[in-house]
Amino acid sequence: MITMKEVYKRYPNGVVAANGIDIQIDQGEFVYVVGASGAGKSTFIKMMYREEKPTSGQIIVNGVDITKLKNSKVPLFRRNIGVVFQDFKLLPKLTVYENIAFALEVIEESPRVTKKKVMEVLELVNLKHKARMFPNELSGGEQQRVSIARSIVNSPLVVIADEPTGNLDPDTSWEIMRIFEEINARGTTVIMATHNKEIVNTKKHRVIAIENGLIVRDEQRGDYGYEN
Ligand SMILES: Nc1ncnc2c1ncn2[C@@H]1O[C@H](COP(=O)(O)OP(=O)(O)OP(=O)(O)O)[C@@H](O)[C@H]1O
């Protein structure tokens, strides 16, 4: 579902963050992206949802070369992709319910379907009882669960998460992992950049390791492989 061919990314300041990446990720896979700080993990991930454009190379997502996509077509393309960030990025003035419903209002979903879908994802992340609260009334783990609920409410084919447990304590991180595993078990591809050695070594999945903008290891059920 995601193919990169000879992908290079040079930022305007001259830093080369992708240095010839070739990769294929199939529908339904669970993939960890690991590597030292500054190795190019975020750049790799951002290019998958057209947050960054490569300097050269092809990136094909669901059959479309997104490097050629017009800016005006990017929002439509992104409907098939859920994104989760380390710092949650919830809208502070909207309730939990509204933060999630927002993603559906943009696509003009009917109020009845919106309510049904929002309640379904809130159930999945176990936060139905906090639907009327505001983000600042929630713990970090709860905020991340809301952000995951928001990322999947459109039933995307893939969820891309950049260090989703980076700001969370170990117990909360395991709870977040449980939710990603559940999402993956339902057939959604999950791609997760992480520094969490324990999680990678315990919940085994494909591991892609990046160093200096290059994929240096790609293993099914791999280990984290760094000291951290
Ligand atoms: N917008 C940008 N402009 C210029 N250079 C950038 C930009 N974004 C990232 N870089 C540089 O590209 C390289 C790769 O950065 P990237 O954020 O992809 O790494 P990372 O592996 O995700 O790091 P971390 O684990 O710290 O998040 C780094 O040298 C970084 O400084």
- The predicted model gives 136-163 an average pLDDT of 96
Return the structure tokens found at 167.
């700001």
> Percent of the chain at pLDDT above 70?
100
ipTM over 0.90: yes
Atom of ligand 1 at shortest distance to CA of 163?
27
Output the residue whose Cα is nearest ligand 1's atom 17: 42
The percentage of residues in the chain with a pLDDT greater than 90, rounded to a whole number, is 94
Going by pLDDT thresholds of 50, 70 and 90, the confidence category of residue 166 is: very high
The whole-chain average pLDDT of the chain stands at: 95
- Chain position carrying tokens 């209002």: 105
CB-based pocket (< 6 A), ligand 1? 11, 13, 15, 17, 35, 37-43
Q: Which amino acid residue places its CA nearest to atom 14 of ligand 1?
A: 40
Provide the pLDDT for residue 228. 62
- Give the relative orientation of helices 140-152 and 111-124 as an angle to the nearest 10 degrees: 130
Measured from the Cα of 195, ligand 1's closest atom is 25
Distance CA 91, CA 105 (A): 14
Q: What CA–CA distance (Å, rounded) separates 192 from 210?
A: 13
- Closest approach atom of ligand 1 to CA 13: 4
CA 38 – ligand 1 centroid, Å: 5
Indicate whether 18 pLDDT > 70.
yes
Residue 12 neighbours by CB under 8 Å, 6+ apart? none
